[in-house]
Amino acid sequence: MKKLRKILKSLFASYCRTFKDVPPGALF
């Protein structure tokens, strides 16, 4: 679980960098 959490955290961080000016709702 720790590894998965780490992966999710890094994914979320890169997501925030890429889409920081796009509201999350716009992607779904």
For 1, 11, 15, 24, the CA distances from 27, given in Å and listed in that order, are 26, 15, 11, 6
pLDDT for the residue 19: 72
Identity of the residue numbered 7: I
pLDDT for the residue 22: 67
DSSP code of 4? H
Q: Three-state SS for 14?
A: helix
Give the tokens for residue 28. 């779904």
pLDDT tens digits, one per residue of 1-28: 799 999 999 988 888 787 776 666 666 5
